[in-house]
Structure 1
Amino acid sequence: MGQPNHFLFVGFLLFLSQCVRSDSLPSVYKHGCVLLGNQRIYCHGGASRSSPTTKASDTYFNDDVLYNQHVYLDVSKPLNLSSANNQWQPVATTSFTLEPRADFAIVSHNATSFIVSGGIGAKTTPGDQSLAHISIRYNAELNLWSDIKSQNASAPKFNFTFDTQLFGGRAIKISDQEYMINGGIPPNNNTVLFPNTSYVDVEATGPNWSSMQAWTIPISRGGQVFPERSRSFRVASALSRNGVVYFFGGLLPLNATDNYNYKDNMGYYGFDSLLTFYPLKNQTFDAIKPSNPDFAPAERQLHTVNAVPNTDLILMYGGVTDKGASPDFCWSYETTSGLWRTVNFTNGDGAGPRFGHQTVMVGNDSLYIIGGIDGSGVTQKDVHILNITSMTWLNGSATNTYDQTIDAASSSASSSSSSLSGGAIAGIVIGTVAAVALLIAAAVIIRIQRKKKSLLDSGPAPEGFTSSSVPPMMSSAKEYNMDPNSYPPASPTSDGSTTVYSPKPFDGSFDPIHSSNPKPHMY
């Protein structure tokens, strides 16, 4: 009759070993996270700052720590908030040496793999934060990292982000056969960037992405290529359910195509006009005006956007300027009506204002908000989960596999026989040892839970966040002047331009031009 206690003890040891292996993230921002088909969130890299940081201009360089971490969180089963914070697992190391890097483009291009492109390296001197491996790919099925290399090493490099180290770039998956990387600037002022190379379209050419081709996509219409005034920097993007890519916010480093200091002339993209890309309409661009441009969000960078599954909504979270973390930190944009709306939560502010975080959609309604710097400027290691259907923050009530394990063990113990046979006595001894171990483990877990209590509590919504009292919109910089005769451009805050890239893509001929270089770059 002592056998159930043996099972209890073995089960407890397995549970305890899992607890020992599990861990939380370090304090991190400017990292990268993706969800793969094995229902794991993978996070890589990132940086941390030891002193409070509230100005966007302080986030370009001079971080105190850069990470080469590669970890995952199993989200194949519902997690409570404590589990989402404490059950991160390190990915088994390989012979490939991962470099510390931050502020890079990352995208899962199929169910098993993701791409990391660019970023800044771990050297502490601004302008000298080089990477040995500019772009790398990870295959979770094989646990294999590899370099992304040109098939023709002598081919001219038109600043495809695979070949030229850029940071502040972002990426969006368009289909299982295509994704786009947009923007990025070099970590030094010694690299001249060619115009019309901000938007790089990548398509698979071999099975399971064994090879691929990359095109630079100029902003063009009817065979006319508009001069590109600048790079885009930290511009978030999302794919709507009608197959259109929307670009939100970020910066225009106007001198990135020259050997000038681009940080001296940074202008923000506003939200009163949005750049869109149409992959299925000969890869044309357009600028659309929201229906309520006077009610658009304030400008920002280091924010995230996610398309809400099975809807026409795109959710924007967080952001920062040199005035601090954006107080209007969560908005929705409806692609069919063109309406901006502030988001009101049902149970407090959850993650609250933050920037440099990562967001990952799990299923149809769970948005994981991972790390970032909070409104007080402190780098965080927490994970928050927002139900985007009810706009409710998870506070620990979801099912947790390991909680179920504890309950099952308790149930097994309570059903033991009271017989005092020799086997039972042995079982009691083992059970007593297990019980003592359980008590010790429980004390440790309670201590951890108390330390995590702040993650489970929700305070009131921040003042001025409700839709009836949104802070007034800051003055947004206009997007760059498209007049081909005015080059170089004036500052975006004073050029007086109207934002028109092209007529609507539905009303005329489409531009077949991929690039000034008619051939794609092969990888």
Structure 2
Amino acid sequence: MNKNQRTLLLWAVVSFLTSVITAQLVVPNPSYRRYPSCGLLSSNGNRKIYCHGGVIKTSQQDYEWDSTLMRLDIMDPNATASNTWENITRTAANSNIALEARERALSAVSFDGSSLFIYGGMSQTKLWNQTIIYTASDNSWSTPATDYTDADFGGTRQIYQGSAVNVNGKYYLYGGEETFSNQNVASYTDPYTNETFTNYFLTENGFNNSAIGYYEIVTYSETISGFDSWSKLRPLGNFQKGLIGSGHAAVFHPRTTTIFYFGGYVRDLINFNLTTASFSQVTTFNTSNMFWGTQTFTGSAVPIGRMGHTATLLPSNEDVLLYGGASGDVSKAMNDFCYVANLQNFTWTAQFASLTLPNANGATGARMGHSAVLDAITNRLYILFGFYDNGLGPQNTPLIALNVSNPSALSFLDFGQQPTRDPNSYNNGTIPEKTSSNSSNSATIGGAVGGAIGGVLVIGLIAFLLFRRRKSNDHNQKQAAQDAGEQEERLSVDWDAIEGGFVETNLPLNNNGKNMVPYNGTNSNSNIVLENSNLYSSANEFGYGEKPTIMDYNNNSKHEVSSQTATSITAVSPPLMNMNTANSPMTDSFRQSYPPDISRHEEPQPITYITKPDGA
């Protein structure tokens, strides 16, 4: 092969590698994700949506946890139109902090909009770091000096399916349930209400779930370091004695300094019955005086009880948009998927009937297990991921967005059109123009795949032409002999330079009510009446593999799982399990703790990341 031929071949190989590297920038099948932690973060004038973790349905029965960190550049119309997410899992500093896959975590964006706070969640083994914080400005992960330790309830606890809200630099965590609970704590006496709870464990298979999440509010302060950054708040006012909320959506209302807890279900900690929470009697917590209460909502169409929904305070600061969710059949999203609650007159208005998806192609606006992220500058509410019918298997749920400039006249956006500012918008900000440099940072999936295929075709074509030329031209042998004495040129790829321009792909395998009785310090719960008297649908348990020793409750020491270090090249997905086996958690012998849209797992499946060749 002569020098020119080698040059052509080198060019073809480098082109092919470049196309492959470009393909690594996007997240494969991001739409199959459920229950991730998402938020809009701002850095240097750039606004991007960041999402971490979740669970991914890979087949009709199988689910896999995920630890991917990815972002969507909402200032790039091409990225939103193609739903193109950039995988930054391995480029984030201290990425080993966040390699533990989790879903249904408690999460919120920081007060200044620069960080995403993530606490607890469901996982395959007990989390090494209960609290992780991602900061966009320096693309890094961090943890507090210490996780919250509940001395009255077994030490460090892992809570899922509760809520987190940031109020002026302080996160308010409430509700949910506990996984990997300390089985040595057979009873719990609340230090504030003096109630004693027993028999609250939800399983008998070593999975160790507890019905009691954060019974009272636990706070974490961004501005205080050390253990003092955590505290538990004494319940005042009309605290709901013996009841705990889970699966709800929480919204902070600045004018009244009140957190509203919408929907979800309520567990009676005396007999452990589950009932859906009323949307006409909404639990509230005032962050100024620490008083609990109940706010009555009316309207011609009050939403029925549901979970798996989201609630978002709109730019008007007086309206909350309820989106999605499921009720009695928690495997299918409800068709009445959109309502607006006004916080001045406390009325509900149904909006779903007037909403039609543009270019739907059979897609529906119904969704559950999704995330909702507001961009107040453009008055867009992004609906991300989730699913609408668990019986259909993996679903490619498209990225959709609502124009929320007028809470009384919502509409779905067509991503084929450029964003424009509504003159009736409650927000007076302007829409920054997208620069060409930022636009070039996002590659579409179609372009990446097309580039890779194109690279293969180029190599094949060049190889074919070279072969024909060598066979048809006798002088090639002479030219080859003349070149034999030349120093052999070797293919050289600068991996250090390449690594600075792409992100390694971490394949995503892993996955009309009645008032509640107020707490007055003396009343019992014998006369509690909640909306929807039938018990909530029983739920499945996650199947977890063998647990490494992670937490010693005697000294709270922590041990890192070696397979989750930042330098590992192979990650192992959680085990998958056949739901039809005799040991399936769907059998009546198990007490179940959450909705049946997640199944168990079986054999580990390795995932191989792209890496340098030996000696490079």
Does residue 187 of the first structure (1) align with residue 179 of the second (2)?
Answer: yes
- Could you tell me which residue of structure 1 aligns to residue 139 of structure 2? 143
Q: Per-residue CA shift, 1:254-290, capped at 9, x if unaligned?
A: 23xx7x8x4xx1111101111222223x222221112
CA 1:51/1:272 → structure 2, altered by over 3 Å: closer, same or farther? farther
What is the alpha-carbon distance in structure 2 between the residues aligned to residue 439 and residue 213 of structure 1? Answer: 47
The answer on whether the counterparts of 1:80 and 1:394 sit within 8 Å (CA) in structure 2 is no
Q: Specify the SS of the correspondent of 1:36.
A: strand
Q: Per-residue CA shift, 1:448-470, capped at 9, x if unaligned?
A: xxxxxxxxxxxxxxxxxxxxxxx
Does residue 315 of the first structure (1) align with residue 311 of the second (2)?
Answer: no
Does residue 201 of the first structure (1) align with residue 219 of the second (2)?
Answer: yes
- Could you tell me which residue of structure 1 aligns to residue 368 of structure 2? 355
Q: Specify the SS of the correspondent of 1:150.
A: coil
- Could you tell me which residue of structure 2 aligns to residue 106 of structure 1? 107
Does residue 392 of the first structure (1) align with residue 411 of the second (2)?
Answer: yes
Aligned ranges 1:122-141 → 2 under 5 Å: 122=124, 129-141=125-137
Aligned match of 2:233 in 217, 220, 226?
217
Q: Per-residue CA shift, 1:70-96, capped at 9, x if unaligned?
A: 11112234456433x123333315343
Q: Give aligned pairs, total.
A: 395
Does residue 343 of the first structure (1) align with residue 345 of the second (2)?
Answer: no
Does residue 32 of the first structure (1) align with residue 14 of the second (2)?
Answer: no
Q: Per-residue CA shift, 1:276-330, capped at 9, x if unaligned?
A: 22223x22222111243x6310100111000111341110001112324222111
Q: CA deviation at 1:404?
A: 7.8
Q: Specify the SS of the correspondent of 2:158.
A: coil
- Could you tell me which residue of structure 1 aligns to residue 206 of structure 2? none
Q: CA deviation at 1:16?
A: 9.5
Q: CA deviation at 1:199?
A: 1.8
The runs of 5 or more residues in structure 1 that have no matched partner are 1-9, 53-61, 123-128, 409-436, 445-474, 497-523
- Could you tell me which residue of structure 1 aligns to residue 599 of structure 2? none
Q: Specify the SS of the correspondent of 2:229.
A: strand
The runs of 5 or more residues in structure 2 that have no matched partner are 1-13, 193-214, 420-432, 441-446, 455-511, 534-616
- Could you tell me which residue of structure 2 aligns to residue 456 of structure 1? none
Q: Which moved more, 1:327-336 or 1:194-203?
A: 194-203
CA 1:343/1:269 → structure 2, altered by over 3 Å: closer, same or farther? same
Q: Specify the SS of the correspondent of 1:96.
A: helix
- Could you tell me which residue of structure 2 aligns to residue 89 of structure 1? 87
Aligned match of 1:269 in 256, 274, 277?
277
CA 1:64/1:254 → structure 2, altered by over 3 Å: closer, same or farther? same
The answer on whether the counterparts of 2:250 and 2:260 sit within 8 Å (CA) in structure 1 is yes
Does residue 172 of the first structure (1) align with residue 186 of the second (2)?
Answer: no
Q: CA deviation at 1:403?
A: 12
- Could you tell me which residue of structure 2 aligns to residue 374 of structure 1? 388
Structure of larger gyration radius: 2
- Could you tell me which residue of structure 2 aligns to residue 425 of structure 1? none
- Could you tell me which residue of structure 1 aligns to residue 123 of structure 2? 121
What is the alpha-carbon distance in structure 2 between the residues aligned to residue 193 and residue 36 of structure 1? Answer: 39
- Could you tell me which residue of structure 2 aligns to residue 248 of structure 1? 262
Does residue 298 of the first structure (1) align with residue 316 of the second (2)?
Answer: no
What is the alpha-carbon distance in structure 2 between the residues aligned to residue 119 and residue 75 of structure 1? Answer: 27
Look up the equivalent residue of 1:487 and give its one-letter code.
Answer: S
What is the alpha-carbon distance in structure 1 between the residues aligned to residue 226 and residue 335 of structure 2? Answer: 44
The answer on whether the counterparts of 2:374 and 2:381 sit within 8 Å (CA) in structure 1 is yes
Q: Specify the SS of the correspondent of 1:116.
A: strand
- Could you tell me which residue of structure 2 aligns to residue 237 of structure 1? 250
What is the alpha-carbon distance in structure 1 between the residues aligned to residue 135 and residue 189 of structure 2? Answer: 32
- Could you tell me which residue of structure 1 aligns to residue 57 of structure 2? 49
- Could you tell me which residue of structure 2 aligns to residue 464 of structure 1? none
Look up the equivalent residue of 2:38 and give its one-letter code.
Answer: C
- Could you tell me which residue of structure 1 aligns to residue 293 of structure 2? 286
Q: Per-residue CA shift, 1:153-183, capped at 9, x if unaligned?
A: 9x753569x93111111111222x2221121
What is the alpha-carbon distance in structure 2 between the residues aligned to residue 35 and residue 112 of structure 1? Answer: 8
Q: Per-residue CA shift, 1:206-233, capped at 9, x if unaligned?
A: 4xx7886233234413xxx846313211
CA 1:42/1:494 → structure 2, altered by over 3 Å: closer, same or farther? closer
The answer on whether the counterparts of 1:299 and 1:476 sit within 8 Å (CA) in structure 2 is no
What is the alpha-carbon distance in structure 2 between the residues aligned to residue 180 and residue 374 of structure 1? Answer: 30
Look up the equivalent residue of 1:485 and give its one-letter code.
Answer: T
The answer on whether the counterparts of 2:66 and 2:101 sit within 8 Å (CA) in structure 1 is yes
What is the alpha-carbon distance in structure 2 between the residues aligned to residue 291 and residue 438 of structure 1? Answer: 51
- Could you tell me which residue of structure 1 aligns to residue 516 of structure 2? 479
Q: Specify the SS of the correspondent of 2:81.
A: helix
Q: CA deviation at 1:44?
A: 0.8
CA 1:367/1:163 → structure 2, altered by over 3 Å: closer, same or farther? same
Q: Which moved more, 1:32-41 or 1:376-385?
A: 376-385
What is the alpha-carbon distance in structure 2 between the residues aligned to residue 68 and residue 194 of structure 1? Answer: 36
Q: CA deviation at 1:488?
A: 5.1
Look up the equivalent residue of 1:309 and give its one-letter code.
Answer: P
What is the alpha-carbon distance in structure 1 between the residues aligned to residue 240 and residue 518 of structure 2? Answer: 10
CA 1:159/1:71 → structure 2, altered by over 3 Å: closer, same or farther? farther
Q: CA deviation at 1:17?
A: 6.2
- TM-score normalized by structure 2? 0.56
The answer on whether the counterparts of 2:251 and 2:261 sit within 8 Å (CA) in structure 1 is yes
CA 1:119/1:87 → structure 2, altered by over 3 Å: closer, same or farther? closer
Aligned ranges 1:454-469 → 2 under 5 Å: none
- Could you tell me which residue of structure 2 aligns to residue 468 of structure 1? none
The answer on whether the counterparts of 2:54 and 2:66 sit within 8 Å (CA) in structure 1 is yes
- Could you tell me which residue of structure 2 aligns to residue 325 of structure 1? 333
Q: CA deviation at 1:332?
A: 0.1
